[in-house]
Amino acid sequence: MESVPPTLKLTFTGDGFPNGSVPLTVVAAKLQALQQAVFHAAAAASQHPGERRGLWYNRYRSSAELTFASSHHSDLVIEAELAVNPVLHDEFNIGLKAVDLLFDVAVAVQNDSISSVNLRPYDRDYLLRALEGLMPNEGDQYQVKLENCRPEKHPVVIFTGESRSRVRSYTARAQQAYYIDAEEATVVVGELIKIHVDTGEDKITVRYRQRDVDCFYHDALRDQVANLIAGSTVEVSGFATFGEGQQINKLHQMLAVQTISMEPIRIARFEDGDRTFELANPIAVNVEYTADGLWVYHHPELNLWGYAARREDALRDLNRNFRYLYEQIAEEAAENLDGVAGRLRELLIRLVANSNGGVNA
């Protein structure tokens, strides 16, 4: 029997983080997500029936807690060892099973075969949502690689923004599969301002387009709701009751809820049509969801904006506007620009290392 605790390796790679320059906020968030995923895997491996609320993970520290082992810098690589005493056989076995389950689900995400994972549905959903935290946001230009330091045990898994989209699509379909009319579901995105768990009505309240919308959930979503954080931005789907002017009064039956990351995206290149602009260094672009229901991408120093009702359309708008900005300012003769535009021209020229067909001087 294996007697050495496994060591997991997390690598941050891609254009968004040249030379391993990863913001500490990103490192901290991904390490926390990895630990939560291992805790959820241990809960699934032990088949414990208890609910996962509050400090539920303390039950699994002895079998599934990770400790720092080492790090390397070129691409940033962090190694974390499962801190299980091999003498405690039961705990050690649960730890090993947890790592196996973690990789089973991660590989299924990578291969788009999530439905083939042989787990209780709620164990699978918990693990998927925990692993989602390891994945880059949609539009981020970097990857997170997860591997066992003993590669013969598990294949290497690479998470991208597309991985996150895949998980969200699957969890939404899994919830909606129970309802015949799920295609008629309404989606509400906004700030989570109230959470009711085991106190009065089972509901959350979301501030959506300057109105407070109550969203009522059933028992299957109770644990997910209990782990939400007030003040975060959430996306809720469910069946709506409408009032005058087709305004949403409430979601009388929620199908799914998920927290939406508002972390800035890191962009190393802009692409629009037949043009690509490779940046000398990545830039962080702010992300916002407005009270009017618009996704907004914004870089203040460049006065660069992209906005639309759908997130992917807002990102396309950002790329299109960067091209317009570059062609109108950076490729214009300096003597034709005033002071503000001239300074922006110099900034754009320094920022863009290479552009296909563009004038970079």
CATH code (residue 211): 2.40.50.140
Same domain, residue pair 115 and 237: no
- Residue 124 shares a structural domain with residue 24: yes
Do 142 and 188 fall into the same domain? no
Q: Report the distance separating Cα 56 and Cα 235, nearest Å.
A: 25
Sole residue written with tokens 């916002």: 288
Query: Is the domain of 171 the same as that of 59?
Result: yes
Residue 173 has pLDDT above 80, yes or no: no
User: Comparing C-alpha atoms, which of 184, 185, 188 is closest to residue 205?
Assistant: 188
Domain match, 230 and 274 both = no
Strands (E), the chain: 7-13, 66-72, 76-82, 143-148, 157-159, 186-195, 203-208, 211-216, 233-242, 248-259, 265-272, 275-289, 295-299, 304-308, 352-355
CA distance 63 to 85: 8
- Residues 232 and 272 both lie in one domain: no
Q: Sign of dihedral through CA atoms 170, 174, 175, 179?
A: positive
- Domain assignment of residue 57, yes or no: yes
pLDDT at 331: 93
32 and 131, same domain (yes or no) = yes
Tokens of 162: 């597309």
3-state secondary structure 280-320: EEEEEEEEEECCCCCEEEEECCCCEEEEECCHHHHHHHHHH
Closest CA to 51 of 287, 276, 225, 282: 225
Structure confidence at residue 360 as a pLDDT band (50, 70, 90): very low
Task: Find residue 357's DSSP bridge partners.
Answer: none
Domain annotation covers residue 2: no
Side chain identity at residue 203, one-letter code: K
The verdict on 109 and 135 lying in the same domain is: yes
Instruction: Give the span between the Cα atoms of 286 and 132, in whole angstroms.
Output: 21
The per-residue pLDDT of the chain, averaged, comes to 86
Tokens of 25: 């906020």
Whether residue 360 lies inside any domain: the answer is: no
Domain closes at, from 176, 195, 222: 176
**pLDDT at site 174:** 65
Residues 88 and 18 in one domain: yes
Same domain, 172 and 25: yes
Residue 239: helix, strand or coil by DSSP?
strand
Boundary residue ending a domain (127, 143, 176): 176
Structure tokens at 95: 């730890």
Domain boundary among 129, 147, 176: 176
Contact yes or no for 78/149 (Cβ under 8 A): no
User: What digits encode the pLDDT tens for the residues 234-267?
Assistant: 888 888 999 887 889 999 988 878 787 788 888 9
Lowest mean pLDDT among 52-56, 122-126, 284-288, 356-360: 356-360
361 located within any domain: no
CA atoms of 218 and 320, how far apart (whole Å): 43
* Cβ–Cβ < 8 Å for 293, 254: no
Residue 161: inside a domain: yes
In a domain, residue 237? The reply is yes
The verdict on residue 47 lying in a domain is yes
> Is 49 in the same domain as 143?
yes
Indicate whether 274 and 349 sit together in one domain.
yes
On whether residue 1 sits in a domain, the answer given is: no
Task: Name the domain count of the chain.
Answer: 3
pLDDT band at 184 (very low <50, low <70, confident <90, very high): low
Q: Which range has the top average pLDDT, 6-20, 22-36, 185-199, 314-328?
A: 314-328
Q: For 302-346, how does the pLDDT look when each residue is reduced to its tens digit (9 = 90+)?
A: 999 999 988 889 999 999 999 999 999 999 999 999 989 999 999
The residue segments making up the domain with residue 214 are: 183-259
In the predicted model, what is the mean pLDDT of residues 147-159? Answer: 87
